[in-house]
Amino acid sequence: MKSKLLLTVFSIALGSVNGLAEDWPQFRGSARDSKSTETGLWNALSDAAPRLAWMADGLGKGYASVSIVGNRVYTSGNTQDGQAILCLDALSGDVLWSRTITDGAPEHGYQGSRTTPTIAGDRLYAVTSDGRILCLNTADGSDVWQREFSDWDGKMMSGWGFSESPLVDGDVVVCTPGGKKGMVVALNKLTGDQVWSCVLPAYGKEQGVNGKPLKDGAGYASIMVSHGGGVKQYVQLVGRGVIGIRASDGELLWRYKYVANATANIPTVVIDGDHIFCSTAYETGSGLIKLSADGADQVKMEEVYSLKFNELQNKHGGMVLVDGHIYCGHGNGSGLPTCVRLSDGEVRWGPERGEGRGEASVLYADGHVLFRFQDGVVSIIKADPDSYQVVSSFKPEYQEGKSWAYPAIADGKLYLREQGKLMCYQLK
């Protein structure tokens, strides 16, 4: 009895030291908001890089991030044989299995995979660049089911390939074929059978705020869940703007087109209660909308404010909400660190030049926002709306091309995907 009590006390103490280690089971983390709840990560901040635990190779070309559950890491990459889903050992970086999911590597504009696998129990869900959603067994990568986006006349708004990371919500998996028979669909997560399909109206000729015609089709964002106005709904950024879809039956509830552009609508929206913040680049801008009840299971959408492209435009590095403030990279290709107050759109600081160059992907953890720039530089910035404070920066062990893959944190480790390599840094 005494030994069991001592073991329990030791386990609790170890847990407090480790700061509640957690998984990162999908794109942008457990809540899909690029936020980690782990603490004790930045206790030894300096200009030196944290210790590199391991670096894996042979993952294929890709801009996909990683998902981490337990002692396994999942990602996707374009190999010589085709686009593949890979599973790695989180302790060593060894590839445990690789499953080719296309006949030849689909090439759409930028070469490389995009989808970050979503892990739910013993199943993995992913979207191929050429338009297919599939479900695999996490144990060995064997097939469970797959569906072609052509079933819904699947279409991208532009030619860089499907990039979404699917959402698993209860009994369904939700994804965005972008077609006239189904812009967004909910499928039975066990069988792939359709539960509902959301069909958008034919909007015809519309222009975005930059004066260019808007396009039909899927964008490059991933779906978020909102309960705005008291109705559960799926919120997605597509070619025609941000849309809200009732989760129970797939009915389109509202659309916000201000942030839609004709080139590529990319950043995943930020959810804050009844409010939704969204942004795109290509001389477009940002907007905050509010949802309110409008009869039985209906929702009214209204714009709170909009920001012009020279005030705030996020291209594809994503945004993170911390204590009522949005932290992100601003600019069409520059990723300049910026902090904006959510409630009224006031720029609290920035845009700053930053330690790195090019687009910046962001992640919040332990009181700081991590910016990973296109040139590979990683900066740790204090999450303080009153001032811009870079507390540490480092250049990772390896860098090539454009470092666009989003960073991930799990169990005290920082994961940085760099095309065919994956670096794992020990933060604790």
The answer, yes or no, to whether the previous bond of 351 is cis (omega within 30 of 0) is yes
CB atoms < 10 A from the CB of 7, how many? Answer: 10
What would the pLDDT profile of 187-203 be if each residue is shown by its tens digit?
999 999 999 999 999 99
pLDDT over 70 at 12, yes or no: no
Same fold for the domain at 20-144+406-428 and the one at 317-399?
A: yes
pLDDT over 70 at 105, yes or no: no
What would the pLDDT profile of 360-404 be if each residue is shown by its tens digit?
999 999 999 999 999 999 999 999 999 999 999 999 999 998 999
Domain locations in the chain as residue ranges: 20-144+406-428, 153-313, 317-399
pLDDT value for 20: 62
Q: Rounded to two decimals, what is the model's pTM?
A: 0.94
pLDDT over 50 at 9, yes or no: no
Worst-scoring range by mean pLDDT, 19-28, 250-259, 350-359?
Answer: 19-28
Range 20-144+406-428 classified under CATH 3.30.1300.10? no
Which of the four pLDDT bands, split at 50, 70 and 90, describes residue 13? very low
pLDDT value for 4: 40
**Which residues have a Cβ under 8 Å from the Cβ of 310 and sit 6 or more positions away?**
none
Q: CATH number for 317-399: choose from 2.40.10.480, 3.40.1390.10, 3.40.50.1000, 3.40.50.1100.
A: 2.40.10.480
pLDDT, average across residues 341-359? 96
pLDDT over 80 at 18, yes or no: no
pLDDT value for 15: 43
The amino acid present at 215, given as its one-letter code, is: K
Buried b / exposed e along 71-80 (16+ C-beta atoms within 10 A): ebbbbbbbbe
CB atoms < 10 A from the CB of 366, how many? Answer: 18
> What percentage of the chain exceeds 90 in pLDDT?
88
pLDDT over 70 at 146, yes or no: yes
**Which residues have a Cβ under 8 Å from the Cβ of 288 and sit 6 or more positions away?**
275, 276, 277, 303, 304, 305, 306, 342, 345
What would the pLDDT profile of 47-76 be if each residue is shown by its tens digit?
778 999 999 999 999 999 999 999 999 999
